[in-house]
Structure 1
Amino acid sequence: MELLTRIAKPRPAGTVQNREITDYIGSYLENLGYETRKLPFNCKVWESQDSYLMIGGNKLTLHVNPFSESFTGTRRAILVRNLEELERVECNDKILFLTEDLAKEPLQPKNYPFYYPDEHKAIIDCLEEKTPCAIIAVTGETSMSGLKPFPLIEDGNFHIPVASLDKEIFPEIEGEVRGKEIDLSIVSKNSIETAHQLIASKKVSDPKGTIAICAHMDSKYNTDGALDNASGAAAMLLAAKGIETNSYNIDILPFNSEEYYDPQGELIYLKDLEKEEKEISLLINIDTVAHVGSKVAVAYFNFKEKEQLKLDKIMNTSTNIVSGQPWYAGDHAPFVFGGTRCILISASDLFEGCLSYTHCPNDTIDLVDEKLIEDAAEYICKVVNDIVLA
């Protein structure tokens, strides 16, 4: 499938390949008769090189957290395990190791507009107040991606250098770290580039409203992002070709920056809706779909009972479409919380193995079942072409 192969390559917001794919998607939609707009925004583009700790003459590999600042030097190491210890510790200009409770899950970017839990804010605020010269997060696996060790802080607005160390290694070296002088090298660079949010629209006469179909087109670094989310972008674009409604205006939204610490692409669209005084009748979000061996799972939000019965009928007469569990860590979330009707489309095994391939080099095109992309697109077309919303 050309759509999939053209998109499934590393494409973080602002990178050359991200811009090329934005242009490709724009041309594709223009050829289908959609009117397109490309709205620019500035973002950081990140690159890193080999980074390490020197412990007892041994060089230990570190995984630089995306958008980290750089650091090279020798400092005394301090270790903390929980927020209470962090609040008490004196670690100005020290190398601060975060373990256990402080490194159990990735922290949300500070000031993330849609979701920033209090417990994450407390950790971030305390770290910034304590001013260590660098942070080493002792992390392992996470249920939300295939990265190991996972990055703890992926945030260009956080200006303390940070890297991750595999927690399986740490017990062997803890005694050589605590309170000792250690050599650290975090090699990381950020530059400011321009990315674009594409909005493609097709209007009808006397519309009953607007249906928005979205799938994020960007990826994390160092991954082809085939499942997450070239699969969803391809399904969205295939659906854009088959939509034949005369009742609703259509917006096609390849959101650019869902995998970035600042979701500027979605914020641009939300501001555009406000400016145009336009409400969305229905939003369909496709994210991480078509995993080999799975089915296409759909979840509904904010529908009336009669509308949901109609959607169930469409689902039950569609190939490989099943009912899925709702989740909120995606582009549909602000619309859901605002009361908009939303349909979420993802892999039926998203939380039973699929996510373990994402955000890492393992997320390649051989994990994607192209037939499921076609099934997802067909389902979307049925919904858009048939649904009547009160």
Structure 2
Amino acid sequence: MNKDNYTAKARFYLDFLCNVKPNRRTGSLGNRDATDFFANTVRAYGYEVDATPFECLDHICNGAILSQEEAYEVYASPYTMGCDALAELIAVSTIEELENIDCEGKILLIKGAICKEQLMPKNFVFYNPEHHQKIIALLESRKPAGIITATEKKPEQAGALYPFPLIVDGDFDIPSVYCKDIVGDILAITHGLFRLKIDAIRISSRATNIIARLNSNAPRKVVITAHIDAYEGSPGASDNASGIIVLLLCAQMLSDYRGENCIEIVALNGEDHYSAGGQMDYLKRYGTEMPKIMLAINIDDVGYKIGRTAYSFYECPLSLEKKAEDVFLRFNSLASGEQWFNGDHMIFAQNQVPSMAFTSERMADLMKTVTHTSLDTPDLIDCYKLVEVAESLNALVRSI
């Protein structure tokens, strides 16, 4: 198949993945449609497919209202519990103030310095700094009726969202909303009773990783991953339909592979979910196979129409880096890039597995403008660039 045909196929995949309903959030119907589509596509190329489901939490929200004499613009935190509270509002801006406040039964406004970093979910195992754990523990011990978090723009943490939710955690049971920092400043000097109403419900659900293998009994394997889920409310074209498309194209290109290694192509499900459920399930079921992996490659946010695709290395011997560089020199749309440490490649790199990551060299621009928003649409993606990434991986896998 020539590049034009692969490019047309990539456009078809992109249109499908960005239009499942309601979206590709882990646990949703659209997410299941996406994983079914992926499984059926790679199965047709002769791969053994493991689609074992895991338990997860889905969330349905119909909005939030904060009002006094007037309504204030607030948004329900992802995975929050619902509530209908009428209470006094009290504000804190530091951990020290939170330690010393009595806010039981009140509406707690969190603003300022304490809101500088999006809090890690309380049971998130990959990264969970002590001061985040302390804030969560203090909030739970203070027992407010509801929480308002006032946040500024932080693209390096939360993408283009403004405001961004400080709390994204289905294991945290105090109802919460978030608002812009300027709204928080107004609320902090407004006295009287406030009504906070959140119309939301948590739903037990299931999702699945899709793990496709060729030559599954081989003693060593090459693993290629991308996350198939998307952030709530986002079509997720660059984040990360583009990466999934590369996997699908690569699966087709490698379908005639008869080398000595196992090829494992993995659509992980949960990179944008608070629980990282798919990543945890993969480690639970296949973590003992880490020593078999000769190279793990993760693809996220590739194909942006501006700029090239950047690759980076983690825990790789120099000989492997040199071999990969020699392959990638054949592709004009690829360039060496800086390391980044918040993608699924870190699952492998933290276990000393030689790893690579592919992303847009303009990832910082994407994070500031479209990531995790409704603006992450298919028109941002150059499908020809996706074909080139897949071709480069096809060539690399056959060379090692």
Question: Scaled by the length of structure 2, what TM-score is found?
Answer: 0.92
Q: Equivalents in 1 of 2:265, 2:15: separation in Å?
A: 20
Q: Equivalents in 2 of 1:336, 1:352: separation in Å?
A: 25
- SS of equivalent to 1:168: helix
Question: What does the per-residue CA deviation read over 1:305-324, in whole Å, with 9 as the maximum and x for residues that have no partner?
Answer: 12211222222222210011
Q: Equivalents in 2 of 1:155, 1:345: separation in Å?
A: 28
- Look up the equivalent residue of 2:247 and give its one-letter code: M
Q: Equivalents in 1 of 2:216, 2:75: separation in Å?
A: 51
Number of equivalences:
383
Mapping 1:1-390, distance limit 5 Å: 1-9=11-19, 10-55=23-68, 57-144=69-156, 145-177=159-191, 180-203=192-215, 207=218, 209-243=220-254, 244=257, 246-274=259-287, 279-387=292-400
Shift in Å at residue 87 of structure 1?
0.7
Q: Equivalents in 2 of 1:245, 1:311: separation in Å?
A: 20
Question: What does the per-residue CA deviation read over 1:169-203, in whole Å, with 9 as the maximum and x for residues that have no partner?
Answer: 333343114xx321111221111112122211110
Q: Is the 8 A contact 1:204 1:247 kept in 2?
A: no
Shift in Å at residue 354 of structure 1?
4.4
Please say which of residues 308-317 and 347-356 is displaced more in the overlay: 347-356
Q: Is the 8 A contact 2:109 2:148 kept in 1?
A: yes
Q: Is the 8 A contact 2:154 2:160 kept in 1?
A: yes
Q: Equivalents in 1 of 2:199, 2:118: separation in Å?
A: 21
- Look up the equivalent residue of 2:108 and give its one-letter code: L
Shift in Å at residue 286 of structure 1?
0.3
Q: Equivalents in 1 of 2:307, 2:219: separation in Å?
A: 35
Q: Among all aligned residue pairs of Structure 1 and Structure 2, give the percentage whose two residues are the same amino acid.
A: 29
Question: What does the per-residue CA deviation read over 1:113-172, in whole Å, with 9 as the maximum and x for residues that have no partner?
Answer: 211111211111111111111110001212131111101111100001111011123333
Q: Equivalents in 1 of 2:132, 2:210: separation in Å?
A: 32
Inter-CA distance 353–41: structure 2 relative to 1 (3 Å threshold): closer
Q: Equivalents in 1 of 2:229, 2:84: separation in Å?
A: 31
Q: Equivalents in 2 of 1:141, 1:110: separation in Å?
A: 23
Q: Equivalents in 2 of 1:109, 1:66: separation in Å?
A: 11
Shift in Å at residue 275 of structure 1?
5.8
Q: Equivalents in 2 of 1:386, 1:291: separation in Å?
A: 27
Shift in Å at residue 88 of structure 1?
0.8
Q: Is the 8 A contact 1:291 1:354 kept in 2?
A: no
Q: Is the 8 A contact 2:104 2:142 kept in 1?
A: yes
Inter-CA distance 171–268: structure 2 relative to 1 (3 Å threshold): closer
5+ residue gaps, structure 2? 1-10
Shift in Å at residue 274 of structure 1?
4.1
Q: Equivalents in 1 of 2:291, 2:31: separation in Å?
A: 28
Shift in Å at residue 267 of structure 1?
2.0
- Look up the equivalent residue of 1:292 and give its one-letter code: K
- SS of equivalent to 1:381: helix
- SS of equivalent to 1:106: coil
Inter-CA distance 124–354: structure 2 relative to 1 (3 Å threshold): closer
Shift in Å at residue 356 of structure 1?
2.7
Q: Is the 8 A contact 2:18 2:236 kept in 1?
A: yes
Q: Is the 8 A contact 1:347 1:354 kept in 2?
A: no
Tell me the residue number matched to 2:6: none
Question: What does the per-residue CA deviation read over 1:341-383, in whole Å, with 9 as the maximum and x for residues that have no partner?
Answer: 1110001011134453011111111111111111111111121
- Look up the equivalent residue of 2:169 and give its one-letter code: D
